[in-house]
Structure 1
C-alpha cells in the first residue's frame, strides 16, 4: 500500500512530499532543512531511494542535493535544467521503480520554467498521485514570468498545453499535489482550497476551461510583483546549495547590538507587532516570527547585508533561522533573547509608536488634523480600492523610498496589519512619527472613510 506525506512550508507557501511503499520512498521538491524530511522517512520506516525536483526553483533554496548525498538516493533533475552538479537527468516518459508495484513517471510540463517536469505516481499501473510542482496547481497554475521576460508569453502558452496534457493523461480521481500555490509568489494566483484532483481541476481551472489566447491574456494581466530575492534562488539551486548550518548563532549583548545598528546592519525584532510597538530598540525593524517572515525579510533586506535577530525565546530564534536558511540567508550575524530592556545599553531608552484602527484614522480626519496616510499594499491590491487621499508605496519598495514619504505624522496601513508593522518600523527607524494601522482593510469603509474603487467596465 502506498502513502503520501505532505510537508508544509507555511512561511513560503509551499509543500514538499514524501511518497512511497513499505520499504522505500521518493521525496519531491525537498526544503533546504532536510532534517525534517529524514525524520518523516524514519517515522515511516522507509529508505529514501529517490529525490525528485520538478524544476530549478526560483523561490527557495532546495535541499535536494544534500538530501541525496546524505541518504545515497538517486537525484532526479529534469534533463533540460542547466545545473553544475552530478544528478540523474530525467526526460519525458522516464520511469523509476520506487518500491514494489510503485512507479514514478516523468511528464514534461513546461510553462513555469522551460524544463519543468511533473511526476505521476502509479501503484500496480493505477495512477494514485500527480506531483505537479509549479505546473497545474489548485485552481491556478505556476506563473510563467520568472525565467526571462522575453519568454513569458511563450511559457504561458506552454502552461496551458501542459495542464491539458496532465488532464488528458491522468484519470479524474488522481490527486493533484503541487509544490506552489499556498502563499508562494511562484503561483499565478493563490490556491482555491487545500486539496484537488484532476477531475476537479478540469471543471474549475482556467488553464482547462479557457481557450489558450484568453488564458494567456488573463494570466499575463494578473501577474503580481516578484520578490527581489528570487533573483538569487535560481542561481543558487543551479550551482548546488551548500549544506545548511542550523547551529545557534553567536550571542549579542546590548553593546554589540548598538554597534551593529551604528554600522548600518539590520537588527530584526521577531516579536509580535503589538509587543514591538510598545517598546523596542531604536533602529531595529519588526518582522514577526509568525507569518511570512522569510518572504518579506528576504524581499526587503539588501542582499548579503548582515542581520541580527532579537526574540523573546531561543525557540523563536531557531525557528526564524530555519526559515531564513530556506531562502539563502544562511547565518544570522548574531542573536539575542529576552526582553527589550536587555538589548539596550544601561540607561538607554526604548522606542515606541502607537497602533490604531481605521476608525481612529477616520476620527482624526473628522477633527481636521492633517496626517499622511501611507498604503503599503501591492499595486494589484490598491487597484481594487484605496483610501481617498492616501499615498502609495508598496512595502517592498519602502526601504529605498523612505525619502518619498510626505512630511507629517504617517498613518501606515496594509490589508491586515503585518506589512503595516514592517513599514512602521522602517519609518520609525529613520526618525519619522508613525502610527501603525492594525486593522483589516474592509474596516476602512465601516469606519466611514471614503474608499475609491475602480469603475466597473462597460459591457456595451
Structure 2
C-alpha cells in the first residue's frame, strides 16, 4: 500500500491491480474518509487497524461499472455516513450530496464537485485540512494522462458524455490550484479508462495539464474525436455492476466452497457447466480434464472469466491448492460472483479418477511459420487444413495481422464458434494468455488446437505479421 501526505492529511492508497483500480483512505490521524472502496474490505480494514483509525465517512465518486462496491457494507461496519450523489436512484439510505455541498469529517473538509462524463452523476471530492494542497479524488473523471471512458452509460450518448467529460476536466482546472494532488479510481489497467492513461504512483493537476488528453487537445472537438476513436471493447460483466451497486451489496463470504468429488466433477462437465481450471496454462495444455476451461489464476483472471461466462451459469473451480481457490474467490466477489458452486483441489490424476485426460500442443510463432511452410498436413492431423486464429481485439488487429489469419476476438468466440473453419487451429493473441483461454474453449468444443504461446512482437519482427 502506498502512502501520500501533505500538511496533516494523509492518504493511503489501496491498490486492486487485478481490476486496474485504486481505493483510498484520507485521514487526520484519528478519523478516516474512505473513497470508492472495493468489496473485499479486509485489506482496507488492515490499513485502518495499522493506523488506529475509524471510518466516519464513505464517499462514492460514481455508481461503478467495473466492480461491486464495498461502500455500503463499510459504512455499516463503522456506523459511518455514506455519501452518494442525490441524483442516483439507490435502494438504501445514504447521505445525498450534490455539486457545491460541503461535508466535515474530523479535521478534514470535503467539497463536492459535479464532474459528469464517465457517468451522468459522477462526482469529484476535494479534501482539505486548511493547511497544504488539496487532495482531489477524481474517480473516473481526470485520470493520470487521460480520462475515464464515456460509452458505458449508453453507446448512443458517447459523443455527448465525452463533451461533458472534457468540460468537467476543465472545470476542475478552473476551480483548483496546480498543486492539488489527483487521486483517480481508474486508469491503472482498468477497462474503465481510455485514451493515453499513464498509470503511475501520483500526480498533480499541474502535471496533468501538461500531459492529460483533456488538457493537451487543441479544442473540445479534437479531444472528442481522439477519445471516441480510442474506445475499445469492455468486459460483458459491466452490464451487471450498475444494478448491483444501486441495490447495495452486503458482506462477502470467502469461506471454502463445497468440495466436489471426481464423480461429481464429471457430472457437472457432462452437463455443460463451467468447470474452470486455475492452473498455469502450460500445465493445462499438457494435461487436463476434458470439457474444462483454462483461465489461469493471475492478474486478469476475474476480468476474463466475468467477460466470458454466461451470467448466472453454475461455476466450479479446479485448483492445485485450497489457497488458489481462496484467491480466485477474492477476485470473483469483486465483480459480483459471490460464491462458486464448488471446488476441487489436488493432483489432476486424482481428480480424473481413471477417466481419460486431454492435452494439446503449445508452440511459438517460429513453429507456426515452419508449419505454414510445410503445408496443410503440418497442423497435427494428416491432411488437415491449417487455420491461424487471431483472438485479439479489433483495435489490436487494426494495427496489423498475420496475412490469411482468421479473426474472432476472444470475447466473441463462444457466439461465433460456427464461423471458424474446419481443420487444425493455431490460436494466438498478443502474449499467449488470451489464446490459452480460447484454445481451451475450442478444445472443449471438440476442435483440434495448437496454442501459440508466444509474444506477437516475435511475429512482427520476423516479418510473419504486418504490424
Instruction: Name the TM tier (shorter chain).
Output: over 0.9
Match of 2:302 in 1: 294
**Rounded Cα–Cα distance in structure 1 between residues aligned with 2:236 and 2:460:** 33
Distance of aligned partners of 1:259 and 1:190 in 2 relative to their CA distance in 1, 3 Å threshold: farther
- Write the deviation string for residues 187-241 of structure 1: whole angstroms up to 9, x where unpaired: 1136313132111110111211221111111111111112111110001101112
Match of 1:44 among 43, 51, 56: 51
Residue 368 of structure 1 and its aligned partner are, at CA, apart by 2.1
- Structure 1 residue matching 2:138: 3-state secondary structure: strand
Instruction: Tell me if structure 2 keeps the 8 A contact 1:15–1:178.
Output: yes
Asked if residue 96 in structure 1 is aligned to residue 106 in structure 2, the reply is no
Asked if residue 219 in structure 1 is aligned to residue 221 in structure 2, the reply is no
Match of 2:151 in 1: 145
- Structure 2 residue matching 1:37: 3-state secondary structure: helix
Distance of aligned partners of 1:228 and 1:193 in 2 relative to their CA distance in 1, 3 Å threshold: closer
**Rounded Cα–Cα distance in structure 1 between residues aligned with 2:210 and 2:196:** 17
Match of 1:380 in 2: 395
Match of 1:415 in 2: 430
Residue 125 of structure 1 and its aligned partner are, at CA, apart by 5.0
Match of 2:237 among 222, 226, 229: 229
Match of 1:239 in 2: 247
**Rounded Cα–Cα distance in structure 1 between residues aligned with 2:195 and 2:335:** 21
Asked if residue 248 in structure 1 is aligned to residue 263 in structure 2, the reply is no
Match of 1:58 in 2: 65
- Structure 1 residue matching 2:289: 3-state secondary structure: coil
Match of 1:425 among 429, 440, 451: 440
Asked if residue 402 in structure 1 is aligned to residue 408 in structure 2, the reply is no
Match of 1:458 in 2: none
The size of the alignment, in residue pairs, is: 450
Asked if residue 308 in structure 1 is aligned to residue 316 in structure 2, the reply is yes
**Rounded Cα–Cα distance in structure 2 between residues aligned with 1:150 and 1:430:** 35
Residue 124 of structure 1 and its aligned partner are, at CA, apart by 1.5
Match of 2:269 in 1: 261
Match of 2:367 among 360, 363, 367: 360
Residue 8 of structure 1 and its aligned partner are, at CA, apart by 1.0
- Write the deviation string for residues 221-262 of structure 1: whole angstroms up to 9, x where unpaired: 111112111110001101112322211100011111101111
Instruction: Tell me if structure 2 keeps the 8 A contact 1:362–1:448.
Output: no
Gaps of 5+ in 2: 1-7, 377-384
TM-score by length of 1: 0.96
Match of 2:459 among 444, 455, 459: 444
TM-score by length of 2: 0.94
- Write the deviation string for residues 394-428 of structure 1: whole angstroms up to 9, x where unpaired: 00111122221111111100011100000000011
- Write the deviation string for residues 317-365 of structure 1: whole angstroms up to 9, x where unpaired: 10110100110111100001112112113x2122111111101101111
**Rounded Cα–Cα distance in structure 2 between residues aligned with 1:182 and 1:376:** 23
- Structure 2 residue matching 1:452: 3-state secondary structure: coil
Instruction: Tell me if structure 1 keeps the 8 A contact 2:146–2:214.
Output: yes
Match of 2:404 in 1: 389
Instruction: Tell me if structure 2 keeps the 8 A contact 1:183–1:190.
Output: no
- Structure 2 residue matching 1:386: 3-state secondary structure: coil
